[in-house]
C-alpha cells in the first residue's frame, strides 16, 4: 500500500466530472415565477455537482495529520473503491461500502462516505433516505464544518422545489453571510432562487449584487449569478 495516500485533486476532479456529465448545462427558459421549480430541476446540479470533489481534496490534505498513516491509508482505499463502484454503475454495492465506512470509520473519511452515500441515494431515486442522511450529517457537530455546510447546500438544493421555502431560507442564510466559506457562492445561488420562488425579486437582486461585488466567487458561480441578475 502506498504510504501517505491521499485523494488527489486530479482524482477528485475526475469524480466530479463524471457526476456532472449527466447534468444539464443550459438554462434556456425565461425566469418566470410559475416556471422556477421546473428550471431548478435542471439548474441545481451546476450548483452542487462539483462540491463533493472540493471537499475530497480539502479533507485529504488538511484534516488528518494527527491520525496514524495506516488507518488513513486504509480508509482512503475503502472510499476510493466505493467511488469506483459508483461510477461504474454498481450503485447498490457502492451504497453498502459507503454505509460501512460511514459507520465504522475512524478518520474524517467516514464523513465523506456519509456524504457520498446521501448523494448516491438521491441519484438512485431514494429521495427520503438521501434527504434524511443529509439532515443527519448537517446536524452532526462532530463532523468538520465544510462537510456540514455541504450537507446543508445539498439538502436545500434537493428540496428547493418541494420544501418549505421559509425553512429552507433559514437553513441556507448563515452560509450566505460567510464570504470566506467553502460554499458561499452556492449558498448565495440557492438563497437567490428561494427569494425568486417567493416572489422576492428585490431581495434576490440585492443578495446577488452583494456577492458579485466581492472577490470570493469562482468564475462559474459569478457567471451564473450574473445570469440570474438579468432575469426579470
pLDDT in tens, 166-177: 999 999 999 999
Does any domain span residue 189?
A: no
Split into its structural domains, the chain has a count of 1
pLDDT category of residue 228 using cuts at 50, 70 and 90: confident
Q: How confident is the model at residue 132 (pLDDT cuts 50, 70, 90)?
A: very high
Q: Between 199 and 35, whose confidence is greater?
A: 199
pLDDT above 80 for 64: no
Residue 212 lies in a domain: no
pLDDT recorded at residue 41: 52
For Cα atoms 146, 151, 155, give the angle at the middle one, nearest 5 degrees. 150
Residue 10 is predicted with a pLDDT of: 53
Q: Is residue 158 part of a domain?
A: yes
**43 falls within a domain:** yes
pTM score above 0.85: no
Residue 181: per-residue pLDDT: 86
User: Does residue 28 belong to any structural domain of this protein?
Assistant: yes
Place of cell 446521501: 118
> Where does the pLDDT of residue 59 fall: very low under 50, low under 70, confident under 90, or very high at 90 and above?
low
Q: Is residue 47 part of a domain?
A: yes
Q: How many CB atoms lie within 10 A of CB 232?
A: 8
Residue 218: per-residue pLDDT: 85
Residue 121's pLDDT band, with cuts at 50, 70 and 90, is very high
For residue 138, being part of any structural domain is answered with: yes
CA–CA gap between residue 183 and residue 181 (Å, rounded): 5
pLDDT reading at 5 higher than 90 = no
pLDDT of residue 14: 53
Chain-centroid distance of CA 45 in Å reads 9
Q: Residue 15: inside a domain, yes or no?
A: yes
State which residues form the domain around 62.
9-163
Q: Are 153 and 187 in contact (CB under 8 A)?
A: yes
Q: Are 134 and 153 in contact (CB under 8 A)?
A: no
H helices within 108-183, ranges in order?
A: 109-123, 127-139, 145-159, 165-176
Amino acid at each position: 500500500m502506498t504510504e501517505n495516500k491521499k485523494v488527489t485533486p486530479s482524482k477528485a476532479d475526475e469524480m466530479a466530472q463524471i457526476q456532472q456529465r449527466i447534468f444539464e448545462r443550459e438554462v434556456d427558459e425565461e425566469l418566470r415565477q410559475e416556471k422556477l421549480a421546473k428550471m431548478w430541476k435542471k439548474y441545481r446540479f451546476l450548483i452542487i455537482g462539483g462540491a463533493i470533489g472540493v471537499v475530497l481534496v480539502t479533507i485529504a490534505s488538511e484534516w488528518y495529520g494527527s491520525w496514524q498513516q495506516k488507518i488513513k491509508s486504509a480508509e482512503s482505499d475503502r472510499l476510493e473503491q466505493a467511488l469506483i463502484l459508483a461510477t461504474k454503475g454498481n450503485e447498490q454495492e457502492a451504497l453498502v461500502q459507503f454505509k460501512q465506512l460511514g459507520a465504522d470509520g475512524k478518520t474524517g473519511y467516514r464523513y465523506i462516505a456519509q456524504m457520498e452515500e446521501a448523494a448516491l441515494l438521491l441519484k438512485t431515486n431514494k429521495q427520503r433516505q438521501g434527504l434524511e442522511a443529509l439532515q443527519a450529517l448537517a446536524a452532526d457537530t462532530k463532523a468538520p464544518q465544510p462537510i456540514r455546510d455541504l450537507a446543508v447546500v445539498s439538502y436545500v438544493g434537493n428540496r428547493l422545489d418541494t420544501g418549505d421555502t421559509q425553512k429552507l431560507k433559514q437553513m441556507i442564510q448563515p452560509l450566505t453571510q460567510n464570504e470566506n466559506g467553502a460554499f458561499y457562492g452556492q449558498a448565495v445561488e440557492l438563497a437567490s432562487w428561494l427569494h425568486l420562488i417567493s416572489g422576492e425579486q428585490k431581495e434576490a437582486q440585492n443578495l446577488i449584487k452583494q456577492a458579485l461585488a466581492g472577490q470570493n466567487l469562482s468564475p462559474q458561480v459569478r457567471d451564473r449569478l450574473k445570469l440570474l441578475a438579468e432575469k426579470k
